[in-house]
Amino acid sequence: MAPKNTFGVFLLFCLILLLLSVESRWTSLGTHEKYFSSLRRTKASIHNTILPDFEMRNYTQTLDHFNFGPNSYDTFLQRYAMNFKYWGGANTSSPIFVYIGDEEELFIDKFTTDFLVTNAPHFKSLLVFIEHRYYGESNPFGSMEEAYKNSSTLQYLSSEQALADCAQLITDLKKNLSAENSPVIVVGGSYGGMLAAWLRLKYPHITIGALASSAPILYFDDITPHNGYCSVVSRDFRESSESCYRTIKNSWHGIMKTATQYEGLTALSQMFNTCRPLTSVEELTNVLEHIYFVRAQYNDPSSNLVNELCEAIDKDSHEINPLRRIAYGVKAIHGFSRCLNVWSVEEMNEFDRLFGWRWQNIKEVLKDFGSNVIFSNGLRDPYSSGGVLQNISSTIVAVTTTKGIPSVSVCARMGA
Ligand SMILES: *[C@@H]1O[C@H](CO)[C@@H](O)[C@H](O)[C@H]1NC(C)=O
Ligand SMILES: *[C@@H]1O[C@H](CO)[C@@H](O)[C@H](O)[C@H]1NC(C)=O
Ligand SMILES: *[C@@H]1O[C@H](CO)[C@@H](O)[C@H](O)[C@H]1NC(C)=O
Ligand SMILES: *[C@@H]1O[C@H](CO)[C@@H](O)[C@H](O)[C@H]1NC(C)=O
Ligand SMILES: *[C@@H]1O[C@H](CO)[C@@H](O)[C@H](O)[C@H]1NC(C)=O
């Protein structure tokens, strides 16, 4: 069982990491940019090179859609990308597919665009990708430091404002293209998927359908169990290997016990090859849970991140000490020559302070997301633990894929 005392801080930290970070980037805490760079970006070694056929644009967006105070007339530049290659044009009322950006910089890379680019020729659709306010270049206050400084600057960061941004931009774009008759389908993943579904629900005149991929749109109130995230992570590991699951489950006790012994933290530091001596046992447990979480969250069939870790943990079948098995597994995937970075609670708070996602989390999204009941049981993609696996109605249908991530499609007209 994971330690409970730092859980509050830790959970928020995890959320940020889970959604935005990359496990293979343990190297340095020097810059936040480095730390928060996304998994896909690092994996592809692409530094957001824009794919051909896409053009980047800036839209002069309204800062505050819901008030009439002086500041509400302020504007900022919102970044979006367009691809006209497949579009049948306004005259034929060809559709517009809009990707709703989420809590990170907009990447016009294969990972983000593939699904829409693959489907665009068939539907002769225009492709539009919208960056979410406060992320990437669509920052109303120029820099992250400035934007996340205090509640005055942060007050315009909300999903309501982001939805209104999309509604306004899409409307304006259709007008410019004389494409009022072109139907709009919005698509998003994770938090962006939630936005897509909400856009369809809140602005039904703007979009005729939404595809919310891997989106925990039911993760509110008491609809889903509150330990959903961790139970899904646990099940991922259990499905990969029962012995790996048991080893991890049993390791927490060993870690806590070792930590209370004389020179215990030193022993743990050495065993896990931490970059600096541990000052508390939570520094280690936080990092380990983070590794398990990220591996489960990004465990698509091609990467098999959970299997990879479990194979390393299971490798030495003669080793009976779960702690040593874990240490070996972590070092094997991380690189035996590299040290394992650990963070203090103060350092985590500093990231939090600089990071908008926490603000949104606290304010509105996914307040009860997860718990530390790690390694019990659950679903597959942990982030979808509030996802939709069954059809809700004839127009709100669940689209599931094998070993995949559940999506929900909210359509006005099926087959449109
Ligand atoms: C959008 O605005 C930013 C900030 O002013 C600028 O750096 C960028 O070049 C602009 N992009 C385009 C496509 O005009
Ligand atoms: C679309 O229709 C308008 C008005 O009928 C016409 O002027 C224009 O040439 C058409 N555009 C294309 C690309 O066919
Ligand atoms: C936030 O910071 C700005 C600039 O330093 C300052 O003018 C403003 O009063 C601050 N607002 C709050 C609520 O602290
Ligand atoms: C629509 O055209 C106006 C005027 O050229 C321009 O300022 C605005 O950015 C355009 N909107 C979009 C969404 O491209
Ligand atoms: C939901 O309904 C659609 C359309 O009838 C069907 O294709 C799909 O398989 C259903 N999904 C589930 C999860 O039952």
Tokens of 316: 């030495």
Evaluate: CB of 391 within 6 angstroms of ligand 5.
Answer: yes
Pick from 245, 240, 244: nearest CA to 301: 240
Decide the pairing of beta strands 209-213 and 407-411: antiparallel
Evaluate: CB of 267 within 6 angstroms of ligand 5.
Answer: no
Residue 39: what pLDDT? 39
Residue 79: what pLDDT? 97
Please give the backbone phi and psi of residue 56, each rounded to the nearest 5 degrees, phi first.
-85, 145
Evaluate: CB of 155 within 6 angstroms of ligand 3.
Answer: no
3-state DSSP percent of the chain in helix, strand and coil, to 5: 45, 10, 45
Single-letter amino acid code for the residue at 132: H
Residue 74: what pLDDT? 92
398: β partners? 408
Evaluate: CB of 400 within 6 angstroms of ligand 5.
Answer: yes
The model's pTM: 0.74
**Alpha helices per DSSP H over 53-127:** 110-123
Evaluate: CB of 154 within 6 angstroms of ligand 3.
Answer: no
What count of Cα atoms within 13 Å lies in the side-chain half-sphere of residue 85? 14
Distance from residue 394's CA to the centre of ligand 5 (Å)? 9
Residue 125: what pLDDT? 98
Residue having the nearest C-alpha atom to atom 1 of ligand 1: 58
Query: Which atom, in ligand 4's list, is nearest to the CA of 60?
Result: 9
Cβ neighbours of residue 76 closer than 8 Å, sequence gap 6 or more: 60, 61, 63, 133, 138, 139, 140, 141
Residue 225: what pLDDT? 56
User: Residue-wise pLDDT tens for the chain (416 aa)?
Assistant: 333 333 333 333 333 333 333 222 222 222 222 233 333 344 343 455 788 899 999 999 999 999 888 777 899 999 999 999 999 999 999 999 999 998 888 989 888 898 999 999 999 999 999 999 998 899 999 887 888 888 888 889 889 999 999 999 999 999 999 999 999 999 998 788 889 999 999 999 999 999 988 777 776 655 555 566 777 788 889 999 999 999 999 999 999 999 999 999 999 999 999 999 999 998 898 889 888 888 887 777 777 889 999 999 999 888 889 999 999 999 999 899 999 988 877 776 655 555 555 556 545 554 444 333 333 222 334 444 556 677 777 777 777 765 554 455 554 432 22
Q: Enumerate domains of the chain plus CATH numbers.
A: 6-224+385-411 (3.40.50.1820), 230-346 (1.20.120.980)
Please give the backbone phi and psi of residue 151, each rounded to the nearest 5 degrees, phi first.
-65, -20
Instruction: Kindly identify the ligand whose nearest atom is closest to the C-alpha of 174.
Output: 4
- Write the pLDDT tens digit of every residue in 268-284: 999 999 999 999 998 89
Residue 184: what pLDDT? 97
Q: Which residues line ligand 1 (CB under 6 A)?
A: 56-58, 77, 137
Q: Which residues line ligand 4 (CB under 6 A)?
A: 59, 169, 172-173, 176
Tokens of 395: 């127009």
Tokens of 69: 């105070």
Residue 290: what pLDDT? 82
Taking phi over 0 as left and psi of -120 to 50 as alpha, with beta for the rest, 415 belongs to: left
Distance from residue 331's CA to the centre of ligand 2 (Å)? 63
Evaluate: CB of 91 within 6 angstroms of ligand 2.
Answer: yes
Residue having the nearest C-alpha atom to atom 9 of ligand 5: 399
| Cβ-based burial of 87 (10 A; exposed 0-12, middle 13-18, buried ≥19) | buried
Evaluate: CB of 149 within 6 angstroms of ligand 3.
Answer: yes
Distance, CA of 292 to CA of 23 (rounded, Å) = 10
**Alpha helices per DSSP H over 298-384:** 305-314, 322-334, 345-354, 356-363
